[in-house]
Amino acid sequence: MAVRKKRDLDELSDILFRIKRGLAGYVSYLAACEMNQAFSEYVLYEPILRILTARGYDVECEVPCPGLPKNDGKGDFKRIDFVAKGRSIQFAIEVKWAKKKTLDVKKDFDKLCWFQECNSASPSFLCIFGKMSDLENIQLKPGSFSERGKAIYADFRRTRYGCRMFELRKPTAP
């Protein structure tokens, strides 16, 4: 098992901060352009991809999770939104747009657990985006995540959009 070095942790904190900051600003810009009808988690993919690649990461989007049960046993494998590799670290990100204060992240949790089982030294993150009023006291089910860094909000006196990043907690040995 590889051990993360302090330099890797600093870079990881930096990239997660950049993603949170970038998303809050980007969606605030789109809101100013009256693009609210198009808002979904898919709007967040392009800025995340641009930020990661600008920092030198090789990024795979929609990475299949072979071995995870398919929906009703039919269709394609479940997929992780992003897997980023580079600078001696690798990590996964699942993205969610929160539309209320409670968020069911069971499917995201399962995919991130699968990723960590396959890549034990690699962290996994749940990136949650939405209105400040929904994000401030959000409750995640299941609760196997811990927040990484502080929330970032774009506060321009209108709808306040923000982003929070949660790291999947590694299971502890019995």
Per-residue model confidence as pLDDT tens digits over 99-139: 888 888 888 999 999 999 888 889 999 999 998 988 988 87
Check residue 71 and give its pLDDT.
63
26 inside domain: yes
* Residue-number span of the structural domain to which 124 is assigned: 6-168
Q: Verify cis geometry, omega within 30 degrees of 0, for the bond prior to 171.
A: no
**Which residues 6+ apart lie within 8 Å of 89 measured at CB?**
4, 8, 11, 12, 122
58 inside domain: yes
173 inside domain: no
46 inside domain: yes
The pLDDT of 129-157, averaged and rounded, is: 86
Per-residue model confidence as pLDDT tens digits over 22-61: 999 999 888 888 887 788 889 999 999 999 999 999 999 9
1 inside domain: no
The CA R_g of the chain, rounded to the nearest whole Å, is 16
SS3 of 131, please? strand
Q: What is the DSSP string of 21-43?
A: HHHHHHHHHHHHTT-GGG-SGGG
Could you give the number of structural domains in the chain? 1
